[in-house]
Chains A and B, each alone.
Chain A
Amino acid sequence: MTELWDGFTKAIELIVSLDPEVMQIAGRSLAFAATSCVIAALISLPLGSIIHFNNFFGKRLLINVIQTLYSVPTVAVGLFVYVLLSRSGPLGGLGFLFSPPAIIIGQVLLVIPIITGLTITALSGVDRTVTDTAISLGASRFQAATLLTREARFAILAGLIMGFGRVISEVGLSLMVGGNISGFTRTLTTAISLETSKGELELALALGIILIAIALVVNITLNRLQQR
């Protein structure tokens, strides 16, 4: 118990003194997660809109599949990306394995279903009358879709933040395709698992507290948005 307490106070010290290594790892984690989410959003928002605004055979099934993929294990995505990027894999020539692009590719794949699915949910959550009103006021299909997306903005943003929460806290994928290389691909989660196994509890705890703090901020933001 005292060990934990000592670790905790040391961890606070590391954070308050802005320890360079801790800050670097935290910054890298944030950068990876943010980049992944932006790229995923650029793909998922249009994709979600297209699925929502069009009627086609198998739409219901597709949405079910997307929703199932919300909880796909990170190691499964990791394995897939690993195979894809490994030297003998189809994209092996890019030499991305064990580098930041590999982590980002994996994280993008990981959150595309979440952001796409939640975009669809957000758009269908808007009162049908909004579309009718827009159409009746002379909106073209595209103009009506734009308005609807605007009306759903808070719910869509909530989806983005959920996605962010998922990538910042995942460990399996970053470890498998990033390799936890110090100063290069080491993130909060991979560092925590390494330091813990080495017995460096105070460093692990400091990183854990930062991670929890980030998760807290994400959750508070999410709650605020959902109250809109």
Chain B
Amino acid sequence: MSNAQPIIKTTDLGQRLNGRDVLRNINLRIDRGEVFALIGPTGSGKTTLLRLLDLIDSPSQGKVYFDGTDVTESVRQRLETRRRMAFVLQKPVVFNTSVYENIAYGLKWRGMSRDNIRSRLDEVLEMVDLADFRKRNARMLSGGEVQRVAIARAIATEPEVLLLDEPTANLDPVSTAKIEELITNIIQRYHTTIVMATHDMSQGQRLADRVGMLLDGEILQTGDWREVFNTPQSREMANFVGVENIIDGVVQSSENNVVTIGTDDSVIEAVSDCAAGEQVHACIRSEEVTLALSRHSTSARNTFSGEIARIITTGPVARVEIDCGFRLVALVTKRSVEEMALETGKQVYASFKATAVHVIRQD
């Protein structure tokens, strides 16, 4: 797959808006048929990047290649290339006309005949489940329906690349599920290459083959969802993918990929190839931390005693904050909170395995 020509490639792409570098050094390659999710918090530059990929805006730096051709400059080439893609904007707007005419626009602009448009639209309308709405004015539709019109309008043109900007933001769970199902159907039916922006990690996981983590205008990491989720490569990324325990320390010893990390006044064992003397962040997901009332009930390498500082229960799980020299958060079931009679001020033993620690080198 990666030997073939990527459908989209960017080199050192950058965008400067109002004197601020909103995007820097974006080197992306998207393969044909791939579903790629750009994940990043609000303001990280997802929309800005998608606008560059769709050739709506021109970058202040770097180049965009489409199917091997540099399409950064020529106006005509940009229009032709744009016609091979479709972009569903973050806040989709519909034109003040019927649902049918809305969806027909992209095809009309490409010079398709009325009859061909009709047969194409019959298929698309049925696919997005809007066949009964075809004559309705699109301005009268609900948010979820507008989103479906926007997607229909995009796929009607049979794009080689479909760009989706937060396709389910501001939708309720039912509409979200419907849109995600629709995207899945598009992937199966047309094998369209998809680049989608989302700030929802789990949506990236559900839909994408590969994710790219965007933070402050830079792509910090790309790869398989699991890899990005479990082995973030920076403190910011760890934070963003929801690692609650990030403890700073220095590697004291290293033997057979097992390291001991000295923190302020404790030592953590971890599996890592870092060498002695390196400054690191030790990342431990809160669900990997287990609690016990006595030291002997655990075989984990890292066990710390401490006092419970706070317990926050949400539904069936509880977040327990323990003060054991450093602050450690454990995610336990509400049931174990009751069984062990955990409460603020109680002494407990918190432990986690050496393999549960993900070590990041500090820069």
Question: Which listed segment binds B: A21-29, A96-104, A130-138, A179-187?
Answer: A130-138
Please give, as numbers and ranges, the residues of chain A lying within 8 Å of B109 by CB-CB distance.
134, 137-140, 143
> Which residue of B has the minimal Cβ distance to A135?
B56
Q: Could you give 25 example pairs across A and B, Cβ below 8 Å?
A: A127-B93, A129-B92, A132-B51, A132-B56, A132-B89, A133-B89, A133-B93, A133-B95, A133-B150, A134-B105, A136-B56, A136-B82, A136-B86, A137-B105, A137-B154, A137-B157, A138-B82, A138-B83, A138-B109, A138-B157, A139-B109, A140-B79, A147-B105, A150-B95, A150-B96
Please give, as numbers and ranges, the residues of chain A lying within 8 Å of B56 by CB-CB distance.
132, 135-136
Which residues 109-145 of A have a CB within 8 angstroms of B? Answer: 127, 129-130, 132-140, 143
Please give, as numbers and ranges, the residues of chain B lying within 8 Å of A143 by CB-CB distance.
109
Cα A137 to Cα B54 in complex, Å, equals: 10
- Interface flags for A146-177 (1: CB within 8 Å of B; 0: not) read 01001100000000000000000000000000
Please give, as numbers and ranges, the residues of chain B lying within 8 Å of A127 by CB-CB distance.
93
Number of A residues, CB within 8 Å of B: 16
By DSSP majority rule, is chain A's interface helix, strand, loop, or mixed? helix
- Interface flags for B90-113 (1: CB within 8 Å of A; 0: not) read 011101110000000110011000
In the complex the two chains form, is A135's CB within 8 Å of B93's CB?
no
> Which residue of A has the minimal Cβ distance to B105?
A137
Task: Please give the residue numbers on chain B whose beta carbons come within 8 Å of chain A beta carbons, in ascending order.
Answer: 51, 54, 56, 79, 82-83, 86-87, 89, 91-93, 95-97, 105-106, 109-110, 150, 153-154, 157
Please give, as numbers and ranges, the residues of chain B lying within 8 Å of A130 by CB-CB distance.
93, 95
Please give, as numbers and ranges, the residues of chain B lying within 8 Å of A136 by CB-CB distance.
54, 56, 82, 86-87, 89
Point out which of B93, B106, B110 has the most chain A C-beta atoms below 10 A from its C-beta.
B93
In the complex the two chains form, is A151's CB within 8 Å of B54's CB?
no
Cα A136 to Cα B79 in complex, Å, equals: 9
- How close is A161's CB to chain B, nearest CB, in angstroms? 19
The contact of B86 among A134, A137, A139, by CB within 8 Å, is A137
Cα A134 to Cα B154 in complex, Å, equals: 11
Cα A134 to Cα B153 in complex, Å, equals: 11
**In the A-B complex, the 4 residue pairs with the closest CB atoms:** A136-B87, A138-B83, A137-B106, A129-B93
Please give, as numbers and ranges, the residues of chain A lying within 8 Å of B157 by CB-CB distance.
137-138
- How close is B313's CB to chain A, nearest CB, in angstroms? 43
Please give, as numbers and ranges, the residues of chain B lying within 8 Å of A134 by CB-CB distance.
105, 109
In the complex the two chains form, is B96's CB within 8 Å of A151's CB?
yes
In the complex the two chains form, is B153's CB within 8 Å of A137's CB?
yes
> Which residue of A has the minimal Cβ distance to B76?
A140
Cα A151 to Cα B153 in complex, Å, equals: 17
Please give, as numbers and ranges, the residues of chain A lying within 8 Å of B93 by CB-CB distance.
127, 129-130, 133
Cα A136 to Cα B95 in complex, Å, equals: 14
> Which residue of B has the minimal Cβ distance to A139?
B109
Cα A136 to Cα B89 in complex, Å, equals: 9
In the complex the two chains form, is A151's CB within 8 Å of B95's CB?
yes
Question: With A136-B82, A138-B82 known to touch, is A147 a contact of B95 (CB < 8 Å)?
Answer: yes
> Which residue of B has the minimal Cβ distance to A146?
B109
Cα A139 to Cα B105 in complex, Å, equals: 9
Question: With A137-B106, A137-B157, A143-B109 known to touch, is A129 a contact of B82 (CB < 8 Å)?
Answer: no
In the complex the two chains form, is A135's CB within 8 Å of B82's CB?
yes
- How close is B167's CB to chain A, nearest CB, in angstroms? 14
Cα A181 to Cα B22 in complex, Å, equals: 68
In the complex the two chains form, is A133's CB within 8 Å of B92's CB?
yes
Please give, as numbers and ranges, the residues of chain A lying within 8 Å of B150 by CB-CB distance.
133
Point out which of A130, A137, A140, A151 has the most chain B C-beta atoms below 10 A from its C-beta.
A137
Please give, as numbers and ranges, the residues of chain A lying within 8 Å of B96 by CB-CB distance.
150-151
Please give, as numbers and ranges, the residues of chain A lying within 8 Å of B95 by CB-CB distance.
130, 133, 147, 150-151
- How close is B351's CB to chain A, nearest CB, in angstroms? 53
- How close is B38's CB to chain A, nearest CB, in angstroms? 17
- How close is B331's CB to chain A, nearest CB, in angstroms? 41
Cα A136 to Cα B51 in complex, Å, equals: 9
Please give, as numbers and ranges, the residues of chain B lying within 8 Å of A135 by CB-CB distance.
56, 82
Please give, as numbers and ranges, the residues of chain A lying within 8 Å of B153 by CB-CB distance.
137
Point out which of A130, A138, A143, A150 has the most chain B C-beta atoms below 10 A from its C-beta.
A138
Please give, as numbers and ranges, the residues of chain A lying within 8 Å of B79 by CB-CB distance.
138, 140
Cα A127 to Cα B86 in complex, Å, equals: 20
Please give, as numbers and ranges, the residues of chain B lying within 8 Å of A150 by CB-CB distance.
95-97
Please give, as numbers and ranges, the residues of chain A lying within 8 Å of B89 by CB-CB distance.
129, 132-133, 136
- How close is B83's CB to chain A, nearest CB, in angstroms? 4
Cα A155 to Cα B109 in complex, Å, equals: 24
- How close is B268's CB to chain A, nearest CB, in angstroms? 50
Cα A147 to Cα B109 in complex, Å, equals: 11
Point out which of A130, A133, A147, A151 has the most chain B C-beta atoms below 10 A from its C-beta.
A133
